[in-house]
Amino acid sequence: MSIPNEGSDAHGLREEIKEGKEAIMDEGVKQIADIIYGENGSEDYDTMVMTGSSVLNRFLTTKGEEFGTSIPEVGQKGYKAVQNNTEMYQQAVSGKFPDEKSEAKYKQALQVAYGLYKGTIEKHPAQFFFKKGEATGLRKKLKSTGKVGIYDTYAYPEK
């Protein structure tokens, strides 16, 4: 099964992911990897894990109206690389990279996306990540979940 699009059973998929069942594979893992690479493909492994974790954490939340109800919608609503169709995001989607180093970083993004889904890589609790000085108003509404590289990480407080 691939990640659902608008109007399909996103809630059922969320439950399968929470239970660790294989629901997201080929297309879904690629969509997550595309976002990871587009946002932070030139960054280190931990930053890639943080980015992929935030995608999954947003997808798994009950805040579908804010974050989206499918991985593509989560990407479109919350990640600048997807919203702006950046060069790195275009490379990921097309599979056409300018050099071997870029292709190797994308393969790492795929491994991270797969590991996060399978649970072989521990998910970071972040739903948001900001560089210093970004989103100062929003930060006040959120709970800090730590720091990864140059990013401060946050999530909505649990109710």
In a domain, 5, yes or no: no
The overall longest dimension of the chain from CA atoms, in Å, is 46
In a domain, 142, yes or no: no
Domains held by the chain: number: 1
In a domain, 52, yes or no: yes
Q: What string of pLDDT tens digits covers the 159 residues of the chain?
A: 333 333 344 445 445 555 544 544 567 899 999 999 999 999 999 999 999 999 999 998 888 889 988 899 999 999 999 999 999 999 999 999 999 999 999 999 999 999 998 889 999 999 999 999 898 888 999 999 999 999 999 999 986
Q: Is the dihedral of CA 122, 52, 104, 39 positive or negative?
A: negative
78 lies in which domain range? Answer: 10-123
Q: Are 113 and 29 in contact (CB under 8 A)?
A: yes
pTM of the predicted model over 0.85? no
